[in-house]
Every structure is written in structure tokens, then in C-alpha cells.
Structure 1
Amino acid sequence: MSQEYHCRIYVTLRPSVLDPAGVAVQSGLHQLGYEGVEKVRIGKYIELTMMAHDKTHAETQLDEMCDRLLANPVIENYCYEITALETTGSPK
């Protein structure tokens, strides 16, 4: 029997990769008077729900999704959170 999982995926550039969008945002924040901002990195946030046999299977599937489509493993890192959703029985 499958379980439904809610997944939150965070994709960021590797620290060694220049982040021009982050530099632009940092510059804009400085122009707005936020001089204390020292480093800005821009990333992606993705949410999805999926069905899997168990949490290990969900993690395996999610790793494959990230490696194949959601993140570029050459220049990006990713991490995720997986939460099992409550299953509701049929109405009584």
C-alpha cells in the first residue's frame, strides 16, 4: 500500500559558483540602506506531493528527480524535507 508524502526541495548554487542574481540583490539591498547585508545567494524552492511505498522509496525517487531534472548536479546542491501525509479513511 502506498503512502502520500509532501516534499519540500531547496536548490542552491554550490558555494564555488558565482551567483550574479545574488550580487544584484545584495547591491539593491545596499542601495535601499541595508548595509549590513554581506552575502546573498539565490536559489529555488519546490513543493510536490508524491505516492511511495515508504519513506525510503520516497527519498530514492526524490533523489532521482533532483539529479535528473530539478537541480543541475554540476553547479547546484539540493536538500529536502519529506513529510508523510495523514491518510483519511472513507467517510462513515
Structure 2
Amino acid sequence: MYKATISITLRPSILDPEGKTIQHALTNLGYDAVDQVRMGKQAEVWIDAASEAEAREVATEACEKLLANPVTENFEIQIESASREAVGEGTA
């Protein structure tokens, strides 16, 4: 069992109005050192696979087919071993 933590962000060439709004709000709150904010999303996916390579392949296919928009978003995958007991934690 593997846990894939997938970070999905807008491509650098895509405008990020949410990030810009947050950056302005932080500046207004006195955080003048904050120069830029880019927002994104994160998914945690538990994959029952025989190897880390297989888990990465499944996660990559899931991103390419559903989780990320290939035109506007990039994704990064981190894979770690997970116990079956940990899978049920935090789910409804």
C-alpha cells in the first residue's frame, strides 16, 4: 500500500487571480516581504500496488486523465509506503 501526495499547481504562464488577491491581502496585513502567492490543490490517494513504481504509474495516469488539467496545470507526485490501517484515517 502506498500513499501518493499529489500537488497540483497552475502553470507559470497561467494567471492566478486567487493567488494575487491573497498576496494583496497579506501585504495589507503588513506582510510586506510576501512577493508572490500561487494557489493550488493537493490530493492524497492511497494505492494498492506491488511497488512504488507501479503506484507512481497509477498516480500519474490519474493526474493525466482526471485530477489535473494538462492545459493549465502541472502536477508533482510524492510516493510513500502506507499501512492499511492508515488508509481509513480521516475519511468519512
TM-score norm. by structure 1 comes to 0.86
Unaligned runs of 5+ in 1: none
Aligned length, in residue pairs: 85
Q: Give the aligned CA root-mean-square deviation in angstroms.
A: 1.4
Instruction: Find runs of 4+ consecutive structure 1 residues off by over 2 angstroms.
Output: 85-88
Unaligned runs of 5+ in 2: 86-92
Greater Rg over alpha carbons, structure? 1
Identity %: 41
Residue identity in the other structure for 1:65: A
SS at match of 2:77: strand
The 2-side partners of 1:20 and 1:45 are apart by: 18
TM-score norm. by structure 2 comes to 0.86
Identify if the C-alpha distance between structure 1 residues 58 and 34 changes in structure 2 by more than 3 Å, giving closer, same or farther. Answer: same
- Pick the structure with more strand per residue: 1
